[in-house]
Structure 1
């Protein structure tokens, strides 16, 4: 059989028309049927593009010149947008972003889940789609002899020096800038990834949107930080909102941000924030949704889909520090949260106690192990809520849910491809897909969050 010839070559230029957008926000063009994924390109645009990478079945390129531009194209507000990898779709109008995310969910359900007629509602957006992140995590490094801090450039580990990020809080930008100055003035070496040398790897700033409280976590390769007393004094004098400064130690050669050891250098081990009238304690390593405004929207929609009357027993798999569990506890008879991370469960128990919930119970372990144990003890769920990581639900958990036969399953997803895969299994196991609601948790990026209601088919 003759080897198929790739019709494009690296560093060559081609005139193309953009047919669609990928779930990552890249434009899709074709040369002799061969797909090319093009950065900074929108549907309907006719462009000249340069091929930057060629694979066996696809290629990547970047737009060089525009012959026809999309009416949805806007000028990015960020001056380093083209270099920085933090956002992907700032060049697309916000209305266009919401439509793109709706289309992404529809396409993934069709392509991966083979679900053709899903009731996918319009994406719920934000009134102000900027400065929405309550958590900033910024890598530090050297470039041209200078201390730099910012996001990694697209498809690289080169840091784009950033003074202002339009999706993060202004106070977070200021604190990162102060740490950049302190590194320079106090001889605190930033991390050198290639040599595994230096001290400061990341600075993480968490802000309570309702309380204004701030936690700063310094992730270091070393156990000691030069002139740390001066660092602490400078930060708390300049930013009195800081209630906690922590150090996390990560000596490993890894892309994972956090190491195993965390210690409090100043203040309390927690800061507090509020959502939906519920107060949450947030520790340096707590999982707490980064967009609190849209989290209220997302979780309120999950509670609505759960159809709670006050008489239901609800299981919450992947419960984290109990955020969605306590939303549910406001409307259910009993809620049971399970999470594999012991520290998260300790935080969840504290949050339940902090808010006076006596109808919320929490357990450490894998959901597929803990849920059958609850059922064996006579605790039968009316509703199961899942909010898994990007890889979706474990197949064993899906089987466990089907065996539990709750009346309703509410699936909260941060990845529509794994959502589609899992929904296919649940549908085949006897559930109807009632409604799919995309929510824009991360404006200016290609990510979309989704909440889904499924009901058990009556036989």
Structure 2
């Protein structure tokens, strides 16, 4: 039959299927799905050279849980999710939503892969395998085997289960080269690396964070590699630093030391930050700065904000940028000599916002510490 199941993200997807077994509780029907009846436009099939890795990992990876659907189906599901929230939480009726045009169509994105400028991968002492792949595990697997160390993304809903990821179709190509280089060598027992365990609180390597920006002159990719560790041991990290710094796109390697006492940051290679351009403004991005993860779609979003706000562009308006972060929205609006007041509670974000205003020569901008409630 044709039903409207609810996935792990709690939104509806229209899909033809065979039902293998089910149980009923009041008005709710829970079922275990069999094979799809037939391929439909809602099903995703790798095209134009995309590997099967996407389809293989997507049901288990916390980063790609709807990639088995076409992009159009994802947009419809997201729109339905927003509509359900407005109806059940906002107490709107469907008739009201339609009459007043509360929900506008989602603005689609032309680039569906390799668009994210930031990814965080976790290290772990034991790679996690879904039950469907357990038969591929060798009989002699044990925790002490370095080949079972994991570097990847968390399984949905679990903080301690890490699915090993060798290639991520969401992040940039240069970042994937860095990920592959680290995966190639970090398990070598002669290097002495130990992944951090969230259970025992022992181990050295915690996270690998990869950020991609663009050189403001050449527009070529700039990659920042951030090794997050439990202690400061630059001599131990030297091999990995040398390994990743051979890539011309890598212009920064930093080490965030995350302990129970606090967090410190050290620059091990190159610059301490990378740059990115957004709607004609240049932004400096440090290891822990917040920045829109989809730069290209952020430009579309910020243009919509400007249009919806109805700004005249004659320099007479005052813009309030609440929860401003590093000031990207306010600073892009300030180009027409509008005065911008931003409010933020994170000290590092305030510092970055002031620096970004200075870089872009924007003087009519005040970033103030304070809550926006």
Q: After superposition, give the CA deviation of every residue in 1:289-342 in whole Å (9 maximum; x if it has no partner).
A: 110010101111111111111311111011111111111112352100111011
| SS in structure 1 of the partner of residue 121 of structure 2 | strand
1:4 aligns with none
**Any residues of structure 2 matched to 1:189-228 within 5 Å, and which?**
189-209=194-214, 210-225=219-234, 227-228=236-237
**Any residues of structure 2 matched to 1:400-415 within 5 Å, and which?**
none
C-alpha separation in 1, matches of 2:320 and 2:9: 32
C-alpha separation in 1, matches of 2:31 and 2:286: 42
1:112 aligns with 89
Unaligned runs of 5+ in 1: 1-15, 28-41, 254-258, 368-396, 398-459
Higher RCO structure (Cα 8 Å, ≥6 apart): 1
Give the aligned CA root-mean-square deviation in angstroms: 2.7
Residues 271 and 57 from structure 1, CA distance in 2 versus in 1: closer, same or farther, beyond 3 angstroms?
Answer: farther
**Displacement, 1:107?**
2.2
Residues 129 and 62 from structure 1, CA distance in 2 versus in 1: closer, same or farther, beyond 3 angstroms?
Answer: farther
C-alpha separation in 1, matches of 2:259 and 2:232: 9
* Equivalent in 36, 41, 51 of residue 66 of structure 1: 36
**Any residues of structure 2 matched to 1:121-140 within 5 Å, and which?**
121-140=104-123
**Any residues of structure 2 matched to 1:324-363 within 5 Å, and which?**
324-331=329-336, 333-363=338-368
**Any residues of structure 2 matched to 1:386-425 within 5 Å, and which?**
397=373
1:154 corresponds to 2:156: yes
Q: After superposition, give the CA deviation of every residue in 1:256-302 in whole Å (9 maximum; x if it has no partner).
A: xxx62222222222111111111000001000011001010111111
2:131 aligns with none
1:264 corresponds to 2:273: no
| SS in structure 1 of the partner of residue 272 of structure 2 | coil
* Equivalent in 12, 18, 22 of residue 3 of structure 2: 18
**Any residues of structure 2 matched to 1:158-173 within 5 Å, and which?**
158-173=161-176
C-alpha separation in 2, matches of 1:293 and 1:264: 28
1:231 corresponds to 2:219: no
**Displacement, 1:212?**
1.3
Q: After superposition, give the CA deviation of every residue in 1:45-89 in whole Å (9 maximum; x if it has no partner).
A: 23325679x999968665233346654222365132222221121
1:365 aligns with 370
Residues 263 and 92 from structure 1, CA distance in 2 versus in 1: closer, same or farther, beyond 3 angstroms?
Answer: same
C-alpha separation in 2, matches of 1:227 and 1:20: 49
C-alpha separation in 1, matches of 2:82 and 2:256: 37
C-alpha separation in 2, matches of 1:235 and 1:166: 20
Q: After superposition, give the CA deviation of every residue in 1:93-117 in whole Å (9 maximum; x if it has no partner).
A: 1111122222222222222112332
2:248 aligns with 240
Q: After superposition, give the CA deviation of every residue in 1:225-251 in whole Å (9 maximum; x if it has no partner).
A: 552223222221x21222221111223
Using structure 2 for the length normalisation, give the TM-score: 0.81
C-alpha separation in 2, matches of 1:102 and 1:218: 37
1:87 aligns with 64
Unaligned runs of 5+ in 2: 47-51, 127-140
**Displacement, 1:20?**
5.3
2:129 aligns with none
Q: Is contact 1:188–1:226 with CA below 8 Å preserved after alignment?
A: no
C-alpha separation in 2, matches of 1:87 and 1:327: 31
Residues 56 and 175 from structure 1, CA distance in 2 versus in 1: closer, same or farther, beyond 3 angstroms?
Answer: farther
Residues 267 and 50 from structure 1, CA distance in 2 versus in 1: closer, same or farther, beyond 3 angstroms?
Answer: farther
Q: Is contact 1:211–1:272 with CA below 8 Å preserved after alignment?
A: no
C-alpha separation in 1, matches of 2:41 and 2:18: 14
1:289 aligns with 292
C-alpha separation in 2, matches of 1:151 and 1:60: 28
Q: Is contact 2:153–2:164 with CA below 8 Å preserved after alignment?
A: yes
| SS in structure 2 of the partner of residue 65 of structure 1 | strand
C-alpha separation in 1, matches of 2:204 and 2:182: 13
Q: Is contact 1:46–1:69 with CA below 8 Å preserved after alignment?
A: no
C-alpha separation in 2, matches of 1:184 and 1:23: 32
C-alpha separation in 2, matches of 1:107 and 1:163: 36
C-alpha separation in 2, matches of 1:19 and 1:107: 13
C-alpha separation in 1, matches of 2:9 and 2:259: 32
C-alpha separation in 1, matches of 2:346 and 2:33: 44
* Equivalent in 47, 58, 74 of residue 97 of structure 1: 74
